[in-house]
């Protein structure tokens, strides 16, 4: 609603607040959209590692489009820290620690 101004004034900051609140309560849809915002640089500064992390969490909850985007990012090597073998586990943890991210992004 707030992101696109549907029924309310457009307010990207308010949108992020509510997406964070829902994402931290394990809402896969909100986690997916935070991944989208980080991947596309919409509202939030482009950050592939953060996008990968949010997509992973949404995919772990069965969000099909997050699974697709996650696979696409793996295939393109975006958000994946190289040097530790570049394997799948490295890609899964590229987003960092969940508690750290929550404290920075969604205090």
Does residue 92 sit within a domain? Answer: yes
pLDDT of residue 66: 94
- Structural domain including 43 reads 12-105
Does residue 70 sit within a domain? Answer: yes
Positions in the chain short of pLDDT 70: 1-6, 82-107
Task: Kindly report, residue by residue over 8-39, the tens digit of the pLDDT.
Answer: 777 778 888 888 999 999 999 999 999 999 99
Does residue 26 sit within a domain? Answer: yes
CATH number at residue 42: 1.25.40.10
Does residue 63 sit within a domain? Answer: yes
Does residue 5 sit within a domain? Answer: no
The model carries a pTM of 0.71
- Backbone φ/ψ region at 19: left (φ over 0), alpha (ψ -120 to 50), beta: alpha
Does residue 37 sit within a domain? Answer: yes
pLDDT of residue 11: 78
Q: What does the alpha-carbon distance between residue 102 and residue 43 come to, in Å, rounded to a whole number?
A: 18
> What total of structural domains would you count in the chain?
1
Q: What does the alpha-carbon distance between residue 52 and residue 73 come to, in Å, rounded to a whole number?
A: 7
Does residue 49 sit within a domain? Answer: yes
């Amino acid at each position: 609603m707030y992101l696109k101004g549907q029924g309310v004034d457009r307010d990207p900051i308010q949108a992020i607040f509510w997406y964070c609140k829902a994402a931290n309560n394990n809402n896969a849809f909100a986690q997916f959209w935070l991944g989208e915002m980080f991947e596309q640089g919409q509202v939030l500064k482009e950050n592939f590692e953060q996008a990968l992390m949010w997509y992973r969490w949404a995919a772990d909850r069965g969000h099909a489009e997050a699974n697709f985007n996650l696979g696409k990012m793996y295939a393109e090597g975006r958000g994946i820290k190289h040097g530790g073998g570049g394997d799948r586990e490295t890609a899964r943890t590229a987003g960092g620690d969940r508690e750290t991210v929550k404290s920075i992004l969604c205090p």
